[in-house]
């Protein structure tokens, strides 16, 4: 079973503190750590890149492409989708596509919303993404999160009704009547490693691929303190929770890559394409885990 390894390319300050925060050169140094790690474990990933980061540091995108990874869009300015109007969202995503096309001459097939901010309040974003030519997205977290998530969204790949866009949600486990995030971002830092491996085994044994995600800054211990020294206002509590156990993320990712097979989002979807096609023939809308076409009404 081929799982999908995904990376959201962004700088910590702009992603966590404020979208308008200065983009620092740390994003470039952190990307180098990620590329070195992926090269060492022999995994190709999908990088969801921010247009603003690629503009600030034009060498990044060609470097990622030359290392053989897939390039997807993470939008331009890392604004939450549900805080934007549809017109502003469309302009943001279009701008990100233009940056990618200008820098590497490719139009991205994959999209991920900043902070998984496609929720019930922003489902209008789905036809816009399809209209902009995206073929797949990994933007809806099927959990009841505080800031994101659609609790009853399917956990495995599905096609949105009335368009060709496929949603490939980040990995979750279903336990005690609800879905829980298991792999990615802060969860990779903070959860016991055994939970991640058991969850991925369980997902793969049930015949499904999993999507895991992380950010380059998570491989950089001590970075939040550097932001603070440079004048960013960060509470001690936030510094602690954001820094905690960053030092073990690289090791944990490497170990996951030892046990499980990973590729790009496009490759993982292609590996289940025959099954997806077969199921879609008879289904219109249904709300269980194997749902292929899901009407989020
Ligand atoms: Zn992000």
Nearest residue to 208 via CA among 109, 296, 290: 290
CA of 31 to the centre of ligand 1 (A): 14
CA of 58 to the centre of ligand 1 (A): 19
pLDDT band (50, 70, 90) for residue 276? confident
Distance (Å, rounded) from C-alpha 131 to C-alpha 116? 19
CA of 138 to the centre of ligand 1 (A): 12
pLDDT of 289 higher than 70: no
Beta strands in the chain (DSSP E): 2-9, 46-49, 70-73, 110-111, 136-137, 158-159, 166-167, 172-175, 178-181, 211-214, 261-263
CA of 247 to the centre of ligand 1 (A): 20
Q: pLDDT, tens digit, for every residue of 165-216? A: 999 999 999 999 999 998 888 887 888 888 899 999 999 999 999 999 999 9
CA of 277 to the centre of ligand 1 (A): 31
Q: pLDDT, tens digit, for every residue of 9-68? A: 999 999 999 999 999 999 999 999 999 999 999 999 999 999 999 999 999 999 999 999
Determine how many CB atoms are found less than 10 A away from the CB of residue 193: 13
pLDDT band (50, 70, 90) for residue 284? very low
Q: For residue 129, how far is the Cα from the chain centroid?
A: 16
Nearest residue to 71 via CA among 95, 44, 52: 44
| Assigned fold of 2-282 | TIM Barrel (3.20.20)
CA of 158 to the centre of ligand 1 (A): 22
Q: pLDDT, tens digit, for every residue of 202-246? A: 999 999 999 999 999 999 998 998 999 999 999 988 888 888 888
- The pLDDT of 73-83, averaged and rounded, is 97
Looking only at the bridges linking them, the beta strands covering 166-167 and 158-159 are antiparallel
CA of 282 to the centre of ligand 1 (A): 36
CA of 278 to the centre of ligand 1 (A): 33
CA of 131 to the centre of ligand 1 (A): 22
pLDDT band (50, 70, 90) for residue 296? low
pTM: 0.93
pLDDT for res 190? 84
């Amino acid at each position: 079973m081929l799982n999908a390894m995904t990376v959201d390319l962004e700088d910590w300050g702009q992603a966590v503190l404020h979208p308008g925060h200065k983009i620092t050169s740390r994003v470039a140094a952190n990307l180098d750590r990620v590329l070195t790690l992926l090269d060492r474990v022999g995994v190709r990933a999908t990088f969801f890149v921010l247009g603003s980061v690629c503009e600030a540091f034009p060498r990044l995108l060609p470097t990622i492409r030359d290392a053989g990874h897939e390039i997807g869009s993470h939008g331009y300015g890392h604004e939450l989708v549900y805080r934007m109007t549809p017109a502003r969202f469309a302009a943001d995503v279009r701008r990100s596509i233009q940056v990618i096309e200008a820098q590497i001459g490719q139009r991205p097939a994959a999209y991920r919303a900043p902070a998984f901010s496609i929720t019930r309040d922003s489902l209008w974003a789905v036809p816009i993404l399809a209209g902009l030519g995206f073929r797949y997205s990994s933007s809806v977290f099927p959990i009841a999160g505080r800031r994101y998530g659609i609790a009853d969204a399917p956990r495995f790949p599905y096609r949105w009704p009335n368009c060709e866009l496929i949603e490939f949600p980040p990995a979750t486990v279903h336990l005690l009547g609800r879905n829980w995030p298991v792999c990615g971002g802060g969860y990779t830092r903070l959860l016991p490693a055994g939970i991640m491996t058991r969850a991925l085994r369980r997902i793969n044994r049930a015949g499904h691929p999993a999507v895991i995600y992380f950010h380059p800054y998570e491989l950089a211990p001590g970075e939040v303190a550097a932001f603070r020294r440079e004048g960013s206002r960060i509470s001690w509590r936030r510094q602690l929770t954001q820094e905690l156990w960053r030092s073990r993320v690289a090791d944990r990712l490497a170990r996951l890559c030892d046990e499980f097979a990973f590729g790009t989002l496009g490759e993982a979807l292609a590996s289940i394409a025959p099954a997806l096609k077969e199921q879609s023939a008879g289904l219109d809308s249904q709300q269980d885990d194997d749902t292929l076409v899901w009407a989020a009404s």
